Amino acid sequence: MPKESFEQFVKRQKEKLEKAEKMVEGVKEEWKEKIEEFEMVEKSVRELKNLWEENEKKLDTKNRYEAFSFFSSLPLPEVSSSLLERISNKFLKELKGFGRIEYLEYGLGLFLSAFLKKNIESYISSQKEKGIKEEKIKPIEVHLNVKEAPIILINSLGYRNPKKLHLIIERDCGYSTGNEMQGGKIIVEGSCELFTGDRMQGGEIIVKRNCGDCTGERVQGGRIIIEGNCGKGTGFQMKGGELNIKGEVKSFAKSAFSPNNKGTIIWKGIKIWENGNWTKEGKEMWERGEVPIIK
């Protein structure tokens, strides 16, 4: 073999070897990242379970606001925003047979909401530190497979839901979904029970099916869209925001149509109330007795 041809051969072999070594290093790095992620998920779920077990009995003497504040004060794990969905769902799944039902029914949604809120706010702070303006920060989506939960319906999911958290709940919810919501989005693929969006301040709630009584109670801002029907007392003491109900309403609260309500009510595709007054269409419907109102 000519000397030049042999040198070219050696060069090609070295290049192949270098390429193979880079591929091996890439695979090693990829597996290292996956192992680190797995360990972080396992560690965080263990921490959440331990915190729940240590503190669930303390719910006996606390109302919802106190319970949420208490959970928020605990050393909840801080994790990458990309792992929030995996950790939340694994925690729900592993909580089966873990803890007393009455505590789970009252506090589980508040506990999970506190965990999500802490991590989303940490994510927002980290993005701002990089010089990214808040309006440019990408929202984080968390799909909650609540079918894995140890109880049929979780109450108070999305309590004080923060900006930049899009919470997609893949089943029915209990009462008080999105209470005191601050921003972001909550999408419920099923139905909700009582008090959906109570004291809501901002953001958007979309319920794909029906809601129980007192939907939109004391809402101050944001938007609630109900694809199906609502129960009694809808819009009780509503102050602002938008309530859009596409189906039937068993009854609106009389206070929903007070001059104090500077918000908007849309019913069956018709805007009937806006900024403290009936709209033209709404007044005509009310005069014909078509708007069901209870005192």
Whole-number pLDDT of residue 36: 87
* Backbone angles phi and psi of 115, in degrees to 5: -60, -45
Whole-number pLDDT of residue 62: 86
The shares of helix, strand and coil residues in the chain, as percent rounded to the nearest 5, are 45, 15, 40
Strands across the sheet containing 140-144: 140-144, 165-169, 185-188, 204-207, 223-226, 242-245, 264-267, 270-274, 277-278
Burial bucket for residue 256 (CB in 10 Å: 0-12, 13-18, 19+): buried
Whole-number pLDDT of residue 29: 59
Which residues are bridge partners to 143 per DSSP?
A: 168
Give the residue from 92, 140, 136, 91 showing the smallest Cα distance to 120.
140
Q: Which portions of the chain are predicted below pLDDT 70?
A: 1-6, 9-10, 13, 16-18, 20-32, 98, 295
pTM: 0.88
Is the C-alpha dihedral spanning 192, 73, 166, 251 positive or negative? positive
Whole-number pLDDT of residue 258: 97
Q: pLDDT of 220-232, one tens digit each?
A: 999 999 999 999 9
First to last CA, the chain: 102
Domain ranges for the chain: 3-209
